[in-house]
Structure formats: structure tokens, C-alpha cells
């Protein structure tokens, strides 16, 4: 059997001395999409930030292997260059930096770190326009500062655009459905589904089952109180939708 | 008897006294000019270099920065002139008319005085003082700059050269004029330059200015600009402060605006151990518009002071000030902004904003807004912000693969962008962006 693309082993992390992740174990093989569902405050977003390398969190134990390499010692930019992509629940607004400048900087920084030649501005423009068109992104948006004045739907489309341009091996989608109406959700889900391939894996973090109607997972994990408490097939999402998370919350509290 | 405590003379004070006694008589200008120099020097001698006790210099103790009076700059030799050839390259893409000053002396052979646009006249200050041009001589003392300002008094006493520019009413000097200041003397020196710019009604001019060192690093430059804008005249100035890291740079601008005149002034400060840009701006006619901006990118122990005195002496004028500083290490930015609204100046619209980005725990910024409002129907506001780089934004950029230093550079450029975006000429904006990028790369 081949090594899973992502392996999380007994991952523990805390913020300001308070432990949030109490030993997470998860393996995602190549080509699979795993959903992580759980109640608010269970630590789902913390897991995504710790994977991406946000320095607010202190990792106190465990390992995260991307294609066999431990990424926990790498700063966020090196993890990105190694092929990890976090689609933010709340993408940041960056006044004064145009979307195009940002995309060019990101694409070329990653290529540089991987020892690949940088792309010319016309080539980047061509790629960006072509991907933007698939996501129904107005070219005017590319000239505006990153996410500034974007609607919730536009921000998530912009995240999906970044994801497709940066061509990551492993994607973590944090509550991609939050703030989206059903039409925007379909556009974003289509964008994500286009990126599914035998070579790429994803973790889709969500509170609701709705997103999983559009991005159908191979495996569903239930996350509660900082660890994975149950794992099943996609039908588990429907069960959670019907019964809620009460079972898991109560169990933990008891 | 005057009971005011008179500070004891410092080595610098004594140095200037000696320099004036020895060299004063040889400075350009006839008896009338000399009398004005002597009077101005008397004002300096009475109080010496200002200390923190002088309110206008509260955060910038000139006495402690200027420990000694460096010798007055000599007339530049062939070697100095040659070193100056590389000066002012940052603005070259704009193809401005270059007027080159080496160690404060105007050098015609390095300057471009050909094909002057109709209505544009240019002469050196030394020439104008020597020949006693009445308008120039009378304006030495008759300016809106506070007579009590010691830096300006020193400039009046010692000014050796500079430029006198006139643009006739209705004429438009299409090509920007670039005042290229190059400090090429191998020994430390004091340089005093004064320029006078006059725009007739409806005239237009863009003035670029740059400061660079090609010789000793620890020079002292004291420059002054008297600006007279006629009705509806439009004047743009962009000053690039790329002095050597040890330079002391004190610049005074005195601007008087007639009705509907427009003044846009921008200063980018990167160099100098101590820089003070002080501006006295008087709106004398209805509808005048003033836009003063500045950006500084500082590190080490650099100290940059911006001091503004804006006098709304006529109704219905608009003024905007926006100053941003990026401060690393132990650098310090000082902003003093005074807005006066005279009793008759109804419908004044004046707004002042300063913002600082602190990159270290030990950087400091001091802001002192002063509003003196004597009219009752005005809009007048000021604001100041101060903060560190936003770590959340930095993480977002890094999560996309952008390394930490590059991410910081992008955020710093974005922060300063709001100020530089206000520059009218795209060519100048691009040139300055190049300078900022190089400075950020050097920061590494």
C-alpha cells in the first residue's frame, strides 16, 4: 500500500497555554476527499490553521507528514510551496495590493522556491484570465485590491481562483460554504470539483451537510473537542444532518 | 532688563559666529542683502540653535543633533563636479530639465538651460543677489516664514546659491524642472541654499528635487524655498530625500497662494540621520487648494520631523495633509501640524492625517496637531494612527507561498501607496515606486 498523501499523527496544539487539539489522527490517501464535520468550537478551524502554519498556535506534540515529509518545522510559505493550500473561511482584505499583483507574487514565489523558472507577466495574465473566466470572475475584480469590497461569494471565488492557479497537491477548505448563497455555492463547488484528481487530496471542513451535496466526500470524520471521534462513509454526513452533533457534545461533556 | 535665560553658546553656535565673521562679507549680494543677512544672523545669535524648550522644536532638539558647525562648502572643483554627474538618476525616466547644484553651488555646465519654454526664466540665486535683482532682494526677508525661525534665519544669513524661477501668467512649463542636489565634497561641510519660485496667474510648473551624497557623509544641508503662486496657478513639487545616512537636513518652505491657486507637495524621505521638513503655507485668496503629503521609510536611529504651519487667511480654501511613516529599529518620526483659521475664513475645509507603521518595539512616533480656529463655519479635522504590521494579513500572504520578508514588503508598499498614489505624474509615481522597492529590498 502506498503512503497516504497526508498523515496527521497524534497532533496536539495549544493557543495561549490552552490545548485545543488533543491528539488528532488522520490519514488522507492520494486522490481522496475527506470531510471533517463538527460542532462550532470543536477545533476544526484550529486544525486548518495548524496545518497551514499559523504561528499563533504552539504545536505541543505529534507529526504532520505531507507525502512523507514532516511539515511542522516549515514556515507557512514553505508549506505552500510544498503543495499545501488553505482556503480561508474568512479571506483577508488587503488594501493597496491588487489581486493581480498578489497572484503574481504568490505564483512566482512558489515556483522560485521549487526551483522552477518564474513566469512572465503576460503568461501569468493569460493563466489568471482563463481560470477567472471558468469561475465567472469579472476581470475588473483582478484590478481591485485583494478581497476589498468583495461580497462573500466573490471572496470564496477568489479563494478558488488562487487554489486552481497555485495547483496544490493538498487542499484544506475551511468552511468554504459560510456566507454563500446556493448559486455561489454551486459555482465554488464546481471549481473545487474540477480540481479533484487522482494526484490531489482534500480536507473539506464544514458545519453543515449542504456543501457535501456538491462536493461529495469519500470519507467523513466527526470532529469534537479537539479530536476525531468517528469516521464513516458519506452517509455519515446525512446521519449528522438528521441527528445533529448533540450525541458527540454530550458524550464529551459526560 | 531681559530676564529670559539665555542658553550658553555651544561649539556649533560659536562655529557659526566665527564662520559669519570670516565669510559673511564674501557671500553674494550688495549692501541691502548684507544688511538682511546681518539682521538674520543677529536673530540666530540672540538665541542660538533651538532646543526642546522652543515649542516648535519640542521633539527635535536641533542643538543636540548639530554638535558642530561644519565649514561652509567651498566652490566645487572639477573632481566634485564630475562625481555629481550620476546624481538625480531616479527621476531620469521623466526626462526633466536638470538644474544641478554641487555642494550648494549651481553648476551651469551640468544643467540644462536650453530651449526654455515661453514665459519661463531661470537664474541662479547667486547671480540674482550679485546683480541686485530688486524682486529677489526684497523677498529675502518678506516671506510668510516665521521671522523667529532660527533655521530659516541661518539660511538667510548664509545662503550662497539656489535658483530663481519665474513662470509668466498663463504659461505652462510642460517639462518638469529637477533640482539635483549633490554633496560631493570629501570633507564635511555646511550648505545653505535658497530658491525662489514665482508663478503668475494661471501658470503651471512641476518641480522635482533630490538630495544625494557622493563625498563625505556627514554634511549639513539647510535649504529654503520661497514660493509665490498667483491666482489659479498650479504647482507640484516632489522631493526625494535620499541623503547619506549621516546627513543633517533642514528644509524650509514658505508658500503663499492667491485665489484658486493649487499647491501639491510630496516628500519621500529615506536618508539622513536627522531630517526636518518644515512648511509655512498661507492661503491668501479664496478657493486655494493645498495638498501636502509625505512618506518616510526609516531605520537605525533616523529622526525625521515634519512641521507644518498652515494659515487659512482667506475664506473657502481647502487643505489636506497626509503623512505616513514606516519605522524600524530605533527610528523616530515627528509630526507637528498647525492649522490656523482666521476669523474671516468661513467655509474652510481642512483635514490632517498621520499614520505610522512601527516595525520594532523601539521605534517612536510623536504627533502634535494644533488647530486654532477663529471662524465658526468651518470643517477642520485631524487624526493619527499608529500600529504594527497586521500579522493576519502577513499569514494570509505567506499561506500563498510568499516569504515573510516579501510579504512584509508588500504590506509596507500598500501602506505607503495611499500617499504616493496622490502624485499627479505617472512617470514620477513609477520612479518613486522604484526607489521604495530598492529601499525595501535593501532592508532584506
pLDDT in tens, A200-210: 999 999 988 88
Helix and strand element counts for chain B (H, E): 10, 19
Predicted confidence (pLDDT) at residue B345 exceeds the cutoff of 70: yes
SS3 content of chain A, % helix, strand, coil (to 5): 40, 30, 30
In this predicted structure, what is the pLDDT of residue B148? Answer: 86
pLDDT in tens, B219-231: 999 999 999 999 9
Compute the distance between CA of residue B56 and CA of residue A159 in angstroms, rounded to an integer.
51
- Which residues on B lie below 8 Å from A81 (Cβ)? 401
- Which residues on A lie below 8 Å from B411 (Cβ)? 94, 97
Predicted confidence (pLDDT) at residue B334 exceeds the cutoff of 70: yes
Disruptive mutation site among A90, A109, A111, A170 for chain B (greatest number of B CBs within 10 Å): A109
Predicted confidence (pLDDT) at residue B172 exceeds the cutoff of 90: yes
Q: Which of B349, B329, B357, B331 is nearest to B417 (CA)?
A: B357
In this predicted structure, what is the pLDDT of residue B7? Answer: 60
> From the CA of B439, how many Å to the nearest CA of chain A?
18
At a CB cut-off of 8 Å and minimum separation 6, what does B150 contact? B43, B44, B47, B48, B49, B50, B54, B62
Predicted confidence (pLDDT) at residue B3 exceeds the cutoff of 60: no
List, as ranges, residues 363-422 from B with C-beta within 8 Å of A.
Answer: 391-393, 395-404, 406-407, 410-411, 413-415, 417-418
> From the CA of A217, how many Å to the nearest CA of chain B?
24
pLDDT in tens, B174-212: 999 999 999 999 999 999 999 999 999 999 999 999 999
pLDDT in tens, A38-93: 988 899 999 999 999 999 999 999 999 999 999 999 999 999 999 999 999 999 99
* Residue A254: band (very low, low, confident or very high) from pLDDT cuts 50, 70, 90: very low
B146, containing H or E segment: none
Predicted confidence (pLDDT) at residue B294 exceeds the cutoff of 80: yes
Give me the percent of chain B exceeding a pLDDT of 90: 89
Give me the percent of chain B exceeding a pLDDT of 70: 98
Nearest to A75 among B404, B406, B411 (CB): B404
- Asked if the Cβ–Cβ distance from B402 to A54 is below 8 Å, we say no
Compute the distance between CA of residue B191 and CA of residue B113 in angstroms, rounded to an integer.
23
* Residue B36: band (very low, low, confident or very high) from pLDDT cuts 50, 70, 90: very high
Nearest to B410 among A75, A77, A97 (CB): A97
- Outline where A114-232 has alpha helix (H): 121-134, 139-143, 152-166, 182-194, 210-214
Compute the distance between CA of residue B254 and CA of residue B196 in angstroms, rounded to an integer.
10
Q: Return the half-sphere exposure (C-beta side, CA atoms, 13 A cut-off) of residue B277.
A: 23
Average pLDDT, chain B: 94
Disruptive mutation site among A48, A75, A77 for chain B (greatest number of B CBs within 10 Å): A77
> From the CA of A112, how many Å to the nearest CA of chain B?
10
Grouping H, G, I as helix, E, B as strand and the rest as coil, residue B73 is coil
Report residue A201 as a C-alpha cell. 487530496
- Asked if the Cβ–Cβ distance from B414 to A94 is below 8 Å, we say yes
> From the CA of B417, how many Å to the nearest CA of chain A?
6
A99, containing H or E segment: helix A99-113
Report residue B11 as a C-alpha cell. 561649539
pLDDT in tens, B242-255: 999 999 999 999 99
* Rounded mean pLDDT, B127-155: 91
* Residue B5: band (very low, low, confident or very high) from pLDDT cuts 50, 70, 90: low
* Residue A1: band (very low, low, confident or very high) from pLDDT cuts 50, 70, 90: low
- Asked if the Cβ–Cβ distance from B401 to A54 is below 8 Å, we say no
A243 burial type by CB count under 10 A (0-12 exposed, 13-18 middle, 19+ buried): exposed
Nearest to A96 among B399, B404, B414 (CB): B414
* ipTM (interface predicted TM): 0.95
> From the CA of A243, how many Å to the nearest CA of chain B?
36
Expressed in angstroms, the distance from the first to the final Cα of chain B is: 59
- Asked if the Cβ–Cβ distance from B395 to A54 is below 8 Å, we say yes
Q: Of the segments A243-252, B129-138, B195-204, which one has the largest average pLDDT value?
A: B195-204
Amino acid at each position: 500500500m502506498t503512503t497516504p498523501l497526508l498523515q496527521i499523527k497524534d497532533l496536539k496544539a495549544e493557543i495561549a497555554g490552552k490545548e485545543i487539539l488533543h491528539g488528532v489522527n488522520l490519514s488522507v490517501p492520494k486522490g481522496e476527499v475527506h470531510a471533517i464535520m463538527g460542532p462550532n468550537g470543536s477545533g476544526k478551524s484550529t486544525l486548518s490553521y495548524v496545518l497551514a502554519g499559523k504561528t499563533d498556535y504552539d504545536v505541543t506534540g505529534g507529526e504532520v507528514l505531507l507525502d512523507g515529509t514532516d511539515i511542522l518545522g516549515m514556515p507557512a510559505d514553505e508549506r505552500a510551496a510544498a503543495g499545501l493550500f488553505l482556503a480561508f473561511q474568512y479571506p483577508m482584505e488587503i488594501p493597496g495590493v491588487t489581486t493581480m499583483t498578489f497572484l503574481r507574487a504568490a505564483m512566482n514565489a512558489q515556483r522560485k522556491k521549487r526551483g522552477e523558472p518564474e513566469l512572465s507577466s503576460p503568461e501569468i495574465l493569460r493563466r489568471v484570465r482563463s481560470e477567472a473566466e471558468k469561475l465567472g470572475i469579472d476581470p475588473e475584480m483582478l484590478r481591485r485590491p485583494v478581497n476589498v469590497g468583495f461580497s462573500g461569494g466573490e471572496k470564496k471565488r477568489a479563494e478558488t481562483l488562487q487554489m486552481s492557479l497555485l495547483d496544490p497537491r493538498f487542499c484544506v477548505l475551511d468552511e468554504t460554504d459560510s456566507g454563500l448563497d446556493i448559486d455561489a455555492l454551486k459555482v465554488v463547488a464546481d471549481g473545487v470539483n474540477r480540481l479533484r484528481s487522482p494526484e490531489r487530496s482534500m480536507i473539506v471542513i464544514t458545519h453543515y451537510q449542504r456543501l457535501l451535496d456538491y462536493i461529495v466526500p469519500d470519507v467523513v470524520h466527526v470532529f469534537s473537542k479537539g479530536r476525531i471521534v468517528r469516521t464513516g462513509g458519506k452517509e455519515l454526513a446525512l446521519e449528522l444532518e438528521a441527528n445533529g452533533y448533540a450525541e458527540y457534545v454530550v458524550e464529551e461533556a459526560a | 532688563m531681559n530676564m529670559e535665560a539665555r542658553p550658553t553658546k555651544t561649539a556649533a553656535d560659536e562655529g557659526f559666529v566665527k564662520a559669519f565673521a570670516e565669510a559673511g562679507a564674501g557671500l553674494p549680494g550688495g549692501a541691502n542683502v548684507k544688511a538682511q543677512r546681518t539682521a538674520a544672523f543677529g536673530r540666530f545669535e540672540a538665541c542660538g540653535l533651538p532646543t526642546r524648550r522652543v515649542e516648535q522644536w519640542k521633539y527635535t532638539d536641533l542643538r543636540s543633533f548639530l554638535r558642530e558647525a561644519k565649514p561652509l562648502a567651498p566652490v566645487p572643483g572639477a573632481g566634485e563636479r564630475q562625481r555629481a554627474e550620476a546624481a538625480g538618476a531616479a527621476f531620469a525616466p521623466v526626462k526633466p530639465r536638470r538644474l544641478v547644484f554641487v555642494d550648494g553651488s549651481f553648476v551651469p555646465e551640468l544643467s540644462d538651460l536650453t530651449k526654455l519654454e515661453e514665459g519661463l526664466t531661470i537664474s541662479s540665486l547667486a547671480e540674482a543677489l550679485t546683480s541686485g535683482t530688486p524682486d529677489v532682494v526684497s523677498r529675502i526677508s518678506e516671506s510668510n516664514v516665521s521671522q523667529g525661525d532660527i533655521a530659516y534665519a541661518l539660511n538667510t544669513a548664509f545662503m550662497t546659491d539656489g535658483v530663481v524661477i519665474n513662470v509668466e501668467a498663463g504659461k505652462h512649463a510642460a517639462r518638469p524642472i529637477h533640482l539635483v542636489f549633490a554633496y560631493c565634497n570629501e570633507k564635511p561641510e555646511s550648505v545653505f541654499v535658497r530658491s525662489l519660485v514665482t508663478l503668475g496667474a494661471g501658470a503651471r510648473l512641476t518641480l522635482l528635487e533630490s538630495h544625494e551624497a557622493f563625498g563625505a557623509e556627514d554634511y549639513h544641508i539647510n535649504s529654503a524655498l520661497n514660493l509665490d503662486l498667483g491666482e489659479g496657478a498650479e504647482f507640484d513639487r516632489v522631493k526625494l530625500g535620499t541623503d547619506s545616512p549621516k546627513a543633517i537636513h533642514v528644509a524650509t518652505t514658505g508658500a503663499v497662494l492667491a485665489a484658486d491657486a493649487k499647491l501639491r507637495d510630496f516628500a519621500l524621505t529615506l536618508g539622513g540621520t536627522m531630517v526636518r521638513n518644515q512648511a509655512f503655507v498661507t492661503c491668501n485668496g479664496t478657493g486655494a487648494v493645498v495638498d501636502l503629503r509625505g512618506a518616510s521609510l526609516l531605520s537605525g536611529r533616523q529622526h525625521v520631523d515634519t512641521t507644518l504651519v498652515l494659515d487659512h487667511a482667506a475664506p473657502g480654501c481647502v487643505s489636506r495633509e497626509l503623512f505616513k511613516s514606516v519605522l524600524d529599529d530605533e527610528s523616530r518620526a515627528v509630526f507637528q501640524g498647525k492649522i490656523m483659521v482666521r476669523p474671516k475664513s468661513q467655509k474652510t475645509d481642512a483635514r490632517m492625517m498621520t499614520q505610522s507603521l512601527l516595525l520594532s518595539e523601539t521605534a517612536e512616533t510623536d504627533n502634535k496637531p494644533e488647530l486654532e480656529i477663529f471662524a465658526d463655519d468651518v470643517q477642520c479635522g485631524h487624526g493619527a494612527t499608529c500600529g504594527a504590521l497586521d500579522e493576519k494579513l502577513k499569514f494570509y500572504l505567506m499561506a500563498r507561498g510568499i516569504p515573510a520578508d516579501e510579504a512584509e514588503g508588500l504590506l509596507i508598499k500598500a501602506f505607503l501607496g495611499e500617499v504616493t498614489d496622490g502624485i499627479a505624474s505617472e512617470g514620477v509615481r513609477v520612479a518613486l515606486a522604484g526607489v521604495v522597492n530598492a529601499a525595501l529590498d535593501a532592508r532584506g
